Amino acid sequence: MITNLDCPAVVATAVLSPMAGYVMLACFSVLWVSLGIWWGRRATSYDGFAVAGRNVGLALGTATAVATWITSNTTMLAPQFALQLGVWGAVAYSTASFGLFAFAPMSGRIRQLMPKGYTAVEFVRRRYGSMGSIPFLLISIFYAITWLISMSMAGGKLLEVLSGIPYPVGMTVVVVVCVTYTLFGGMYAVIGTDFIQSLIILIGLVVVAIAVLMQIDIADVHSKLETNRPMLLSVFFPAALMALFNNMLFGFGEIFHSNVWWSRAFAMREGVGPKAYALGGVLWLPVPIVAGFLGLAAPALGIGISHPDTVGPLVAATLLGTGGALLVFVVVFCSLASSIDSLLAATADLIVNDMVEPIAKAKRAGIKPDGHAMSDSAKRRASSFAIIFLGVLSWAVALPNVGTLATVLFFAGPMVGSCIWPIVGGLYFRRPSPLAAGAAMTIGTATGLWAYFAIGWFVASLVGAAVSGVVFALATWLAPAQFDFSTLADEAA
């Protein structure tokens, strides 16, 4: 065990050679593209491409929830939280599991109300009309692109830290690979690869955790932190306490509003969603705590960190050597792919169903009044173009490598936090009105963004969700509606 924690700082350098990094990158690129094409053979229709034929079972449903939620943000941001905010930082990130638990019953409700639905925006449009759907669509698209950018950045940072592969090269390969296999297989490819990726991620994290614990003495880490950085261990660290509640609400908003999760609710067989999301939350809960410990160990071990969002992979690779670096590479690469492909597929659904098709429907209203403005093949082609567009956009914005993962991702925090109450209220209650939903999302977003710049990213989601909740409740009380939920089952609505 490493017990001499008073040793000089370790200079962080790439553990793998660039050649080893390129070989690993090539192997996994070929593997995921091949699996994506193989799984995607079943996507013979748009329904199969977008929602996997609505027949996903419990095993695949749980695996895709776990793999998608164990993003590079989990394996890289949780250690960053611990490094900067201490013990509460790691715990704060684990509260994101509460969103999965809460969405479990909601997924059953969604499937029941809209058995032929495709997107979250479709629900909001039919529940609240344009007053609610326009701000919700803007928030959903912006958030999805922000998440895509942060995932792309994480890929480049990971490869550069572990193997010295230049950031632009690593980031480009990760984006191209995910775009390629999602393009071929849609949701079938996404969920199929997620199953394998979830197994690799969970097994890899267990092995990394055990190996790291065998290399260090926890008591010595605690003693060193207590002497040099006591605030990391303090239960009254103000910024950390605010980050805990901020991240919890961000997690609720992230899952409740994002089409990544709604598309899976539509794809799963009836009755499967609640079980799959609950099991996914149980499996995900300990992951950020384990990953966060790496962030706490860094200052105690004297490992120099130039970029805080790379602390987790760097500590594991430094302690475990080449073998550890290879394992960390595999785990984080899988977590990247499982999130990027999900975002590409789900956001392409938003673009096609909630932007392209409504425009086509408006143009052809007099020609095809039955409501079906686009053929199955036309929607499939539109999805392909949307996936390519999203890949190019995220690559272009991620290329300058500006900011950390936390500052990039949590800029969308107040936006998604402001969507919590309109979604919950719209799913379960008749009285919430379009005015309540639109006002809650708009005012909540505006005040949350003010808090982001005036106070910090660690309170933005909290402020946005709180203000949105107050506005939503007041508007529902002052101007109630009486919505008929049976209209949501009308496919042509």
Give the domain ranges of the chain.
Answer: 18-409
Res 75 pLDDT > 60: yes
Res 105 pLDDT > 80: yes
Would you state the pLDDT for residue 191? 87
Taking residues 316-328, report their average pLDDT.
75
Per residue, the 3-state secondary structure of the chain, as one string, reads: CECCCCCCCECCCCCCCHHHHHHHHHHHHHHHHHHHHHHHHHCCCHHHHHHHHHCECHHHHHHHHHHHHCCHHHHHHHHHHHHHHCHHHHHHHHCCHHHHHHHHHHHHHHHHHCCCCCCHHHHHHHHHCHHHHHHHHHHHHHHHHHHHHHHHHHHHHHHHHHHCCCHHHHHHHHHHHHHHHHHHHHHHHHHHHHHHHHHHHHHHHHHHHHHHHHHECHHHHHHHHHHHCHHHHCCCCHHHHHHHHHHHHHHHHHHHHCHHHHHHHHHECCCHHHHHHHHHHHHHCCHHHHHHHHHHHHHHHCECCCCHHHHHHHHHHHHHHHHHHHHHHHHHHHHHHHHHHHHHHHHHHHHHHHHHHHHHHHHCCCCCCCCCCCCHHHHHHHHHHHHHHHHHHHHHHHCCCCCCHHHHHHHHHHHHHCCHHHHHHHHHCCCCCHHHHHHHHHHHHHHHHHHHHHCCHHHHHHHHHHHHHHHHHHHHHHCCCCCCHHHHHCCCC
**Rounded-to-integer distance, Cα 306 and Cα 229, Å:** 18
Would you state the pLDDT for residue 1? 35
Q: Which of 178-182, 421-425, 437-441 comes out lowest in average pLDDT?
A: 178-182
Which residues does 33 contact at the CB level (< 8 Å), separation at least 6? 177, 180, 181, 184
Nearest to 410 by CA among 64, 65, 96: 96
**Rounded-to-integer distance, Cα 145 and Cα 309, Å:** 19
Res 377 pLDDT > 60: yes
Split at pLDDT 50, 70, 90, the class of 6 is very low
Asked if 119 and 350 touch (Cβ cutoff 8 Å), the reply is yes
Over residues 239-279, the pLDDT tens digits come to: 677 777 777 888 898 899 999 999 999 999 989 999 999 99
Taking residues 458-472, report their average pLDDT.
91
Would you state the pLDDT for residue 232? 67
Asked if 272 and 56 touch (Cβ cutoff 8 Å), the reply is yes
Split at pLDDT 50, 70, 90, the class of 300 is low
Asked if 321 and 162 touch (Cβ cutoff 8 Å), the reply is no
Please tell me which of 174-188, 220-234, 363-377, 380-394 the model is most confident about, judged by mean pLDDT: 380-394
Res 228 pLDDT > 80: no
Split at pLDDT 50, 70, 90, the class of 70 is confident
Residue identified by tokens 């260090």 is 216
Split at pLDDT 50, 70, 90, the class of 73 is low
Average pLDDT, the chain: 82
Would you state the pLDDT for residue 259? 92
**Rounded-to-integer distance, Cα 355 and Cα 376, Å:** 16
Q: Which residue has the higher pLDDT, 280 or 368?
A: 280
Locate 198 and state its tokens. 């979830």
**Radius of gyration of the chain measured on its C-alpha atoms:** 22
Res 62 pLDDT > 60: yes
Asked if 434 and 484 touch (Cβ cutoff 8 Å), the reply is no
Nearest to 191 by CA among 346, 75, 303: 346
Res 5 pLDDT > 60: no
Would you state the pLDDT for residue 10? 41
Would you state the pLDDT for residue 7? 37
pTM of the model: 0.84
Which residues does 375 contact at the CB level (< 8 Å), separation at least 6? none
Percent of the chain residues topping a pLDDT of 90: 30
CATH fit for domain 18-409, picks 2.40.37.10, 3.20.20.140, 1.10.3720.10, 1.20.1730.10: 1.20.1730.10
Q: Which of 23-32, 118-127, 288-297 comes out lowest in average pLDDT?
A: 288-297
Residue type, 374: M
Would you state the pLDDT for residue 86? 73
Would you state the pLDDT for residue 275? 94
Taking residues 365-392, report their average pLDDT.
78
